[in-house]
Structure 1
Amino acid sequence: MPKLIITENPEKWKINAEGATIISPSDYFGNSAYLESKNYMIVNLCRSHQYQSLGYYVSLLAEARSHKVIPEISVLQDFRFPSFIKDDAEEFDTLIQDTLKGESSSKVTINIYFGQVDNVSYSKLGILLFNLFQVPIIQAIFSKKDKWQLQSLKPLHLKNLDETGFKKLQEALHFYVTGKKVVRKKYSRKKYDLAILVNPDDPNPPSSPQALQKFIAAADKLGFNTEMITKNDFAKLVQFDALFIRETTNVNHHTYRFAKKAEAEGLVVFDDPGSILRCTNKVYLHELLVANKIAVPKSHIIRKDHQIIPDSFKYPMVIKQPDGSFSKGVKKVADDAELHATLKDMFQKSELLIVQEFMPTTYDWRVGVINKQPLYVCRYFMAQNHWQIINWKKDNQHRDGKSETVAVEDAPYALIDLALKATALIGDGLYGVDIKEVNGKFYVIEINDNPSIDAGVEDRVLKNGLYTKIMETFVERLEK
């Protein structure tokens, strides 16, 4: 994606930002090339962002042209209401107190340049403020009476910076434009920029490091510059054309905020926020599948204030939390004592739970679907001496059952048909449908919006073609 840095005096800039062009507001307003293409990322470094100033109109016209711009007009509007910003600061009060607890003075000023700060001890606070208020240069002033409070937060501009601050800005801008964590050995201009969102600390990520490298290699061949990002890179989303989320998703989680932001900025995103919303709640999925006559195991929703299970359910039975993942939040109960203990525990986290008949099988089917087409088919066998494919132990340790991957054309037609009908109710993204087979009949257990794709498992049949197919889908949507 071409990147433009806009300031009133481009000749003052001596920055080597690969892939970026420095122009004036008049160039941006008057050059028809910038009007005809939507494929630009704009860094607005004008002297003022006040209402109807040049800087204001750069951001305003950038949004009208569907360019990705920092700062956005909505962010500039936020700075017109300081009380709102102070209210937002209350949500991260603990971080403020922890960051500034060693300060001897009663006032601290922090200048934040694209998320970077001079004092490394302020780094977390600087990244958080930049992610919340995406302005190139922000000055945060904190004062202390009984405790530390955000006194003011305001944008700074080039005219406000001394020589040291200007040097820090150039350094931060260079990293912001080119990306510190670009995976390629040598940055080269390619047609598209792809971000892959990961959690390096997740012991059970949806894709192994080997699989991530295969995604990167496939993306590279199809014309992507690829960068691995983490939850601290929220403000960098405007730099990209596409986002691929490869960490476990949930609605009450940063992955959902990333998906929402990416969609709002016009990025192609897997998983899209609608799919996350629908797939990560088993109560919603149950109602959706039943309403559309998709075969599922016999199930019933129970309420915290009405814990009645129909007599037709016999032990053992399965109790499910609405938002569990990787077989967590799913318990099998064998008698009344286990049932009551499980309900007491699970109802502490949710007002609704699902009770489901127990269907013992030696394996579960998983059908991978992308763009409403089957992608891969696996059998996941139950973990040894366990009733699930993953046997969770203490301290987040687990044991998996073995797996087998079969060609889509060799899988039962009814299996594929059921998976496609079920995912069509969710969208046209990337999904993994868990299905049980009992006496030749198939039943949907759940639909995963963030299916596991690991090297040597799901790719056993298609090999590198699996990763290529997913990246081709990104390209197809970008070219539309």
Structure 2
Amino acid sequence: MADWVILVDSPKDFPNADTPHKVITTRDYLARSSLFQGTRPKIVNLARSFAYQSRGYYCSLLAEARGHRIIPSTETMIDLGARQLYAQALPELDDSLAKSLAAAADKTVPTRILAYFGVVTDHRFDRFGRLLFDWFRCPVLEVTIDNGDRPQIRRLASVPVTRLSAAELRLFHEALHDHTRREWRSKKDRAPPRYSFAVLYDPKEALPPSSRATIKHWSR
């Protein structure tokens, strides 16, 4: 476990005493090019912001340039920055969410799911959590769910550890411990879809060839 490194904006965000891994600040990682020279550390970026051109973003960008292994990657940060960028993942994730509920005795739909390295506290959604982490390798992800005719994901967002409650932080520590005991596995490459499907729709048409329900079905 000695080759894991935690990046934080401030030492108080995730004290070194709380983890067996080396904790360094994002400022030091950016400024000290000699750090970890000749090695390939595995890095968990816990910066407070992953926004484009933030310090957290530049740490992941620099890690990739140095050949270090880091989560989240800049690609994941950018994808999570806007719904239209992570929209390609939603059909598969929505389907997994629906299947998890269909297979469970309890059909209650949560409005929010927190995933820590893909681990969720509601075991009905264990498979969903693993799929989510396979799409977006992020330490903490918040999933906001709309409960309509068919539950659908309204929003995906990374959550800084500084915003976690005491109970959530304990769960994060457990998930971090388990994650860093495993071998590093790169994100699976996903083939882009071979085809795109478009439907022209005029809400004012008197006799539309397709109903609103049909178009909603195709939009999945």
TM-score class normalised by the smaller sequence:
0.7 to 0.9
- Aligned pairs for 1:17-416 (under 5 A) are 17=20, 20-34=21-35, 36-101=37-102, 102-104=106-108, 107-179=110-182, 236-238=184-186, 258=188
What is the alpha-carbon distance in structure 1 between the residues aligned to residue 149 and residue 88 of structure 2? 17
Q: Superposition RMSD on alpha carbons, in Å?
A: 2.2
Q: From the two aligned structures, give the one with the greater helix fraction.
A: 2
* Contiguous gaps of at least 5 residues in structure 1: 180-194, 196-235, 239-256, 262-480
Could you say if the C-alpha distance between residues 82 and 23 of structure 1 is closer, same or farther in structure 2, counting changes exceeding 3 Å?
Answer: same
Partner of 2:216: none
Q: Is the 8 A contact 1:35 1:65 kept in 2?
A: no
Q: Percent identity?
A: 28
Give me the whole-angstrom Cα distance separating, in 1, the residues matched to 2:44 and 2:181.
12
Count of residues paired in the alignment: 184
Q: Structure 2 unaligned runs (5+)?
A: 191-220
Deviation at 1:85, TM superposition (A): 2.3
Post-superposition offset of 1:160: 1.6
Per the alignment, residue 6 of structure 1 pairs with 7
Partner SS, residue 67 of structure 2: coil
Counterparts of 1:21 and 1:35, CA distance in 2: 11
Cα distance in 2 for residues equivalent to 1:141 and 1:103: 17
1:40/1:67 contact within 8 Å kept:
yes
Displacement of 1:33: 2.9
| Alpha-carbon distance, 1:118 to partner | 1.4
Give 1:51's aligned amino acid.
Answer: Y
Scaled by the length of structure 2, the TM-score of the pair is 0.75
Q: SS at the partner of 1:4?
A: strand
Q: How does 1:415-454 map to 2 (within 5 A)?
A: none
Kindly indicate whether the alpha-carbon contact (under 8 Å) linking 1:70 and 1:136 is maintained by their aligned counterparts in 2. Answer: yes
Alpha-carbon shift at residue 35 of structure 1 (Å): 6.1
Counterparts of 2:93 and 2:45, CA distance in 1: 27
Q: Check whether the contact 2:6–2:23 (CA below 8 A) recurs between aligned residues.
A: yes
Deviations 1:344-381 (A, max 9, x none): xxxxxxxxxxxxxxxxxxxxxxxxxxxxxxxxxxxxxx
In 2, Cα distance between equivalents of 1:44 and 1:81: 20
- Please give the alpha-carbon distance, in whole angstroms, between the structure 2 residues aligned to 1:2 and 1:61: 18
Residue 374 of structure 1: aligned partner: none
Contact 1:15 1:174 in 2 (8 A): no
For 2:19 and 2:92, the matched residues in 1 are separated by: 38
Q: CA deviation at 1:63?
A: 0.9
How far apart, in 2, do the equivalents of 1:117 and 1:83 lie? 25
* Larger RCO of the pair (alpha carbons < 8 Å, separation 6+): 2
C-alpha distance in 1 between matches for 2:55 and 2:85: 25
Q: Which is strand-richer, 1 or 2? A: 1
SS in 2 for 1:153: strand
Larger radius of gyration between Structure 1 and Structure 2: 1
C-alpha distance in 2 between matches for 1:75 and 1:45: 14
